[in-house]
Structure 1
Amino acid sequence: MTKKTNKLKILIAGGAIRDLLLSRRPKDLDYLVASGTAEDFMKEFPDALPVGKSYEIFYLNGLEFSFPRKRGKNIEETISLDLLARDFTVNSFALDEDGELYAHPKAMDDMKNRVLRPSFPDCFREDPLRIFRAAVFSARFPEFSPHAELINEMKRCAENGWLNDIAADRVGVELRKGLSAPKPGNFLRLLIEGGCLEPWLTEFSGGTDIPAGPPKYHDKSVLGHTAEIMDKVAGNPLTCWMAMCHDIGKILTPDSILPSHYGHDKAGATPARTLGSRLMLPVKFIKSGETAALLHMKAGSYSELRPGTKVDLLMKLHTSDLLENMTSLCRADRGEDVLQNAPADLAEILKVSLPMQERNQGKKSGEKLRSMRAAKLKSLRPASD
Structure 2
Amino acid sequence: MEIYLVGGAVRDLLLGRTVTDRDYLVDHADHASFLGRYPTARLVGKSFPVVILDGSEYAWPRGGSLERDLELRDLTVNAMALDEKGLLRAHPQALHDLQAKILRPCSPTSLTDDPVRVFRAARFAAQFPDFSPSPELLDQMRSAAQQGLLAGHAAERVGREVSKALCAPVPSRFFTLLAKADCLLPWFEELAACVGVPAGPPAYHDKDVFDHACEVMDRLAGDALLAWMALAHDLGKATTPREEWPAHHGHDRTGVAPARELALRLRQPRVFMEAGMAASAEHMLAGRYAELRPGTKVDLLVRLEAKKLTARMFRLAAADKRQADEDTLRQARRDLRVILKVRLPDDKKDLGEASGEMLRQLRCDALAAIQGVSKPCPIIHT
Interval containing the TM-score (normalised by the shorter chain): over 0.9
Matched, 1:194 2:181: yes
After superposition, give the CA deviation of every residue in 1:79-117 in whole Å (9 maximum; x if it has no partner): 211110001110000112232211111112211211111
Q: Compute the displacement of 1:384 (Å).
A: 11
Q: Distance in 2 between matches of 1:234 and 1:54?
A: 37
**2:281 and 2:143 mapped to 1: Cα distance?**
36
Partner letter of residue 68 of structure 1? P
- The answer to whether the Cα contact below 8 Å between 2:232 and 2:279 also exists between their aligned partners in 1 is yes
Taking the aligned partners of 2:359 and 2:123, their CA distance within structure 1 comes to 47
What SS does the corresponding residue of 1:379 show, helix, strand or coil?
helix
CA contact (8 A) 2:311 2:329 kept: no
Q: Secondary structure at the match of 2:58?
A: strand
Alpha-carbon distance in structure 1 between the residues aligned to 2:178 and 2:69 = 27
Corresponding residue for residue 371 of structure 2: 381
Equivalent position to 1:359, from 349, 357, 368: 349
1:367 aligned counterpart, secondary structure: helix
Task: Figure out how many residues of one structure are paired with residues of the other and give that number.
Answer: 372
Given the alignment of the two structures, is residue 96 of structure 1 paired with residue 86 of structure 2, yes or no? no
Of 152, 155, 164 in structure 2, the residue corresponding to residue 168 of structure 1 is 155
**Distance in 2 of aligned mates of 1:104 and 1:51:** 28
Helix, strand or coil at the partner of 1:121: coil
The AA in structure 2 aligned to 1:226 is: A
> Secondary structure of 1:216's partner?
coil
Deviation at 1:25, TM superposition (A): 1.7
Task: Tell whether 2:332 aligns with 1:346.
Answer: no
Q: How far apart, in 1, do the equivalents of 2:7 and 2:228 lie? A: 29
Question: Where does residue 48 of structure 2 map in the other structure?
Answer: 55
Partner of 2:360: 370
Is 1:28 aligned to residue 21 of structure 2?
A: yes
Q: So what's the TM-score if we normalise by structure 1?
A: 0.93
Distance 1:46 1:154 in 2: 42
Task: Compare 262-271 and 21-30 and name the one that shifted more.
Answer: 21-30
Please tell me whether the aligned partners of residues 199 and 205 of structure 2 are also in contact (alpha carbons under 8 angstroms): yes
SS in structure 2 at match of 1:50: strand
Kindly indicate whether residue 90 of structure 2 is the aligned counterpart of residue 122 of structure 1.
Answer: no
How far does residue 266 in structure 1 lie from its aligned partner after superposition? 0.4
Secondary structure class of the residue paired with 2:236: helix
Instruction: Decide whether the 8 Å contact of 1:69 with 1:82 is kept in 2.
Output: yes
- Give a deviation string over 1:53-87, Cα, whole Å, max 9, x none: 3333211111111111112xxxxxx2211110001
Contact 2:5 2:82 in 1 (8 A): yes
Aligned-CA RMSD value: 1.6
Q: How does 1:147-158 map to 2 (within 5 A)?
A: 147-158=134-145
- Distance of 2:374 and 2:123 partners within structure 1: 45
Q: Residue type matched to 1:10 in 2?
A: I
TM superposition shift of 1:304? 0.6
Q: Is the 8 A contact 1:114 1:143 kept in 2?
A: yes
Residues 284-323 of structure 1 aligned to structure 2 (within 5 Å): 284-323=271-310
Aligned with 1:278 (options 265, 270, 275): 265
Q: Matched residue of 2:16: which SS?
A: coil
Moved more, 362-371 or 255-264: 362-371
Closer/same/farther in 2, CA of residues 360 and 197 from structure 1, 3 Å limit? same
User: In structure 2, the residue corresponding to 1:182 is in which secondary structure?
Assistant: coil
Which residue type is aligned with residue 11 of structure 2? Answer: R
* One-letter identity of the residue aligned with 1:250: K
* Partner Cα separation in structure 2 for residue 307 and residue 299 of structure 1: 13
Q: Which amino acid aligns with 1:40?
A: S
Partner of 1:178: 165
2:193 aligned residue (191, 201, 206): 206
Query: Which of 245, 253, 256 is residue 243 of structure 2 equivalent to?
Result: 256
Instruction: Spell out the pairing of 1:236-251 with structure 2 (5 A cutoff).
Output: 236-251=223-238
| Paired residue secondary structure (2:225) | helix
Q: Secondary structure at the match of 1:339?
A: helix
Pick which of 42-51 and 135-144 moved more.
42-51
Identity of aligned residues (%): 46
CA distance in 1, matches of 2:277, 2:374: 29
Are 1:13 and 2:13 matched, yes or no? no
Cα separation, 1, equivalents of 2:40 and 2:329: 54
> Which aligned segments of 4 or more residues in structure 1 are displaced greater than 3 angstroms?
none
Which residue of the partner structure matches residue 221 of structure 2? 234
Contact 1:302–1:339 (CA<8 Å) still a contact in 2? no
Contact map agreement 1:57 1:67 (CA 8 A) in 2: yes
Query: SS at the partner of 2:89?
Result: strand
Which letter maps to 2:52?
Y
Distance in 2 between residues matched to 1:339 and 1:98, nearest whole Å = 54
> Can you give the 5+ residue segments of structure 2 that lack an aligned partner in the other structure?
376-382
Q: Deviations along 1:150-206, whole A, 9 cap, x unmatched?
A: 111111111122121211122222211111111111121122112111111111113
Q: Distance in 2 between matches of 1:249 and 1:119?
A: 39
Deviation at 1:230, TM superposition (A): 1.0
CA distance in 2, matches of 1:64, 1:162: 28
Instruction: Using the TM superposition, give the Cα deviation of residue 147 of structure 1 relative to its aligned residue in structure 2, in angstroms.
Output: 1.1
